[in-house]
Amino acid sequence: MVLFLGSTIGNFDGTAGVKFLSRLREILREGDSLLLGTDLRKPIATLTAAYDDPLGVTAAFNRNLLVRINRELDADFDIEQFEHLAIFDDQNHNIEMHLRARMDQTVTIAKAGLCFRIPRGETIWTETSHKYSQSELVEIAQRTGFRWQGQWIDEEWAFAENLWIAR
């Protein structure tokens, strides 16, 4: 059994997630199983509250990407001049996290040999988290060489562990 328990698969774009699961299936034998954690679709207000929480925890987590780039790659992002955005993409059932520049900036990332301009209003897309439906999970299982066997749902958080069997 392979355990992939968090909802990390939702951070892949659709093509990459399917490719990863297909490659995983290639290394399994028929009858082997995969327990796959997935975040399920939920109301937009619930997603927005989770990804743009009033305490600013998610915003701090998101801005920490720039903090780390500054520290580890000798960059000079002005972190306070970026605002956190959580944007729902209804067509693809994704929630995206962005950092939007509050002012024009010229940024140098010394260890990467880069210098570039970020205009006011430009966003840096930092994360995507796909939210799945049960029918989508069944279809992806079939497309990647698995048989969907079952699902256990945490109703409070709309999160599912899915049991797939290699066919």
Residues 30 and 80 in one domain: no
Q: For the whole model, what pTM was predicted?
A: 0.85
Q: Name residues of the chain where pLDDT drops below 50.
A: none
Residues 74 and 99 in one domain: yes
Residues 4 and 71 in one domain: no
Pairing mode, if any, of strands 33-39 and 2-4?
parallel
121-158 pLDDT, tens digit per residue, is 999 999 999 999 999 999 999 999 999 999 999 988 89
23: how many CB neighbours lie within 10 A of its CB?
10
What is the number of alpha carbons within 13 Å of residue 42 lying toward its C-beta? 20
Residue 128 tokens, joined: 């995507």
Question: For the chain, how many structural domains are there in total?
Answer: 2
Range of the domain at 76: 44-129
Residues 80 and 154 in one domain: no
Residues 50 and 124 in one domain: yes
30-41 pLDDT, tens digit per residue, is 999 999 999 999
Residues 69 and 115 in one domain: yes
The rounded distance, in Å, linking the Cα atoms of 78 and 76 is 6
Element holding 114 (H helix, E strand): strand 114-118
The rounded distance, in Å, linking the Cα atoms of 36 and 55 is 30
